[in-house]
């Protein structure tokens, strides 16, 4: 019985020793595995050899299942491949920039030489030629003070014979000229048409030899319109002519009477053609602006009635040689 407790204690000690040995063995295996896991090269490192920022315990990695470990490994491989890929984001912009520079170089330096070699496109050559001509002209104009000024020889220039260079002093004396009496009535004077009517005759080429602004008497007007005394409108005509001043004129030139009536237009302004004095400035027959002699005989009588001796002038017009051709 004395040996029995010994055996019990020895058995318990042996069993506890065996348990301790088994626990220490397990701990050794686990340490060996952990040490092996720590010694795996680049298991948890970046492609450049730097350790990852993962704070997981390697012991926990042992507890992961096979599929999860393969998924983690694949993710790490994809990330590593993405880090190793080259960055091509700025290469297209750089290529476009150098392409544009090359095109500008071609346009600025190469293209002008090609255009100059083609007919019709030599712009720069034409500009240079024009500049050369301008310089030559300036040289001829701006001459030194010692050189005499250029002279112009008119004798070598051809002069057309049709131009009246040496005009006849009196070209109108060799032709039959007429004088006509033109009167601007009170409505024409009041409307300010004296100037435009005079311009019509001057622009046609006739010469003004007498002009005055008068207020005639009733007897004077009755004498002037003596051929209309029997007409029913005669009293109204006389009163109309007495209503204001009258501009009396004498115009001289070839066929002055007939052409003067043409310039005035028809007695009725509504029947007058556009371009005539009455056709442009009058509407009613009782306000037809002006009067003109209807024949050479009546023109002589009316001029003698309205103008005294010496009031009708005779002079040489400077433009007569440019209006009338030599006979």
185 is in an annotated binding site: yes
Query: 291 an active-site residue?
Result: yes
278 in a labelled binding site: yes
What angle separates helix 194-204 from helix 256-264, to the nearest 10 degrees?
Answer: 130
Residue 133 to residue 148: CA distance in whole angstroms: 23
Q: How far apart are CA 99 and CA 249, in angstroms?
A: 87
CB 66 within 8 A of CB 72: no
Q: Is residue 267 annotated as involved in ligand binding?
A: yes
In a 13 Å sphere around the CA of 149, the CA atoms on its Cβ side amount to 2
Q: How far apart are CA 208 and CA 239, in angstroms?
A: 28
Helical ranges in the chain per DSSP H? 3-38, 58-63, 66-84, 91-105, 111-116, 123-141, 186-190, 194-204, 218-224, 234-241, 256-264, 277-281, 296-306, 320-323
Could you give the 3-state DSSP secondary structure of residue 307?
coil
Supply the DSSP string of 69-97, one letter for each residue.
Answer: HHHHHHHHHHHHHHHHS---TTHHHHHHH
Catalytic residue among 129, 220, 224, 291: 291
Question: Which of these, 160, 141, 161, lies nearest to 149 by C-alpha position?
Answer: 141
Closest CA to 216 of 237, 232, 194: 237
Query: Do the annotations mark residue 91 as ligand-binding?
Result: no
- The CA–CA distances, whole Å, from 230 to 162, 201, 227, 237, 286 equal 54, 32, 8, 12, 17
User: Is 261 assigned a ligand-binding role in the annotation?
Assistant: yes
Query: In Å, what is the CA distance from 86 to each residue of 50, 76, 77, 81, 317?
Result: 20, 18, 16, 10, 102
Q: Which residues define the annotated binding site for ATP?
A: 185, 233, 261, 267, 278, 288
Residues of each annotated binding site? 185, 233, 261, 267, 278, 288
Residues with active-site annotation: 291
């Amino acid at each position: 019985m004395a040996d029995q407790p010994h055996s019990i204690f020895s058995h318990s000690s042996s069993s506890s020793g065996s348990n301790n040995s088994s626990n220490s063995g397990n701990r050794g295996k686990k340490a060996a595995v952990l040490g092996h896991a720590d010694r795996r090269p680049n298991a948890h490192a970046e492609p450049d050899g730097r350790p990852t920022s993962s704070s997981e315990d390697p012991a926990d990695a042992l507890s992961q299942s096979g599929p999860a470990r393969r998924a983690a490994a694949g993710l790490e491989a994809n990330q590593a491949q993405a880090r190793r890929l080259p960055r091509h984001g700025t290469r297209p912009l750089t290529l476009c920039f150098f392409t544009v520079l090359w095109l500008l170089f071609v346009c600025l330096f190469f293209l002008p030489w090609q255009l100059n070699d083609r007919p019709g496109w030599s712009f720069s050559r034409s500009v240079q030629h024009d500049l050369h001509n301008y310089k030559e002209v300036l040289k001829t104009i701006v001459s030194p003070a010692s050189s005499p000024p250029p002279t112009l020889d008119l004798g070598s220039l051809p002069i057309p014979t049709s131009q009246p260079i040496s005009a006849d002093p009196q070209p109108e004396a060799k032709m039959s000229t007429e004088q006509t009496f033109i009167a601007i009535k009170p409505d024409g004077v009041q409307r300010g048409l004296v100037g435009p009517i005079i311009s019509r005759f001057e622009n046609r080429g006739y010469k003004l030899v007498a002009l005055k602004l008068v207020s005639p008497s009733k007897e004077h007007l009755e004498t002037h319109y003596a051929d209309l005394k029997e007409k029913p409108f005669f009293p109204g005509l006389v009163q109309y002519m007495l209503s204001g001043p009258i501009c009396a004129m004498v115009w001289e030139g070839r066929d002055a009477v007939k052409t003067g009536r043409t310039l005035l237009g028809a007695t009725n302004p509504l029947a007058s053609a556009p371009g005539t004095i009455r056709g442009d400035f009058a509407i009613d027959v009782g306000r037809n602006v002006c009067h003109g002699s209807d024949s050479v005989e009546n023109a002589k009588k009316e001029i003698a009635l309205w103008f005294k001796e010496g009031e009708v002038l005779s002079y040489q017009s400077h433009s007569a040689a440019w209006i009338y051709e030599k006979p």
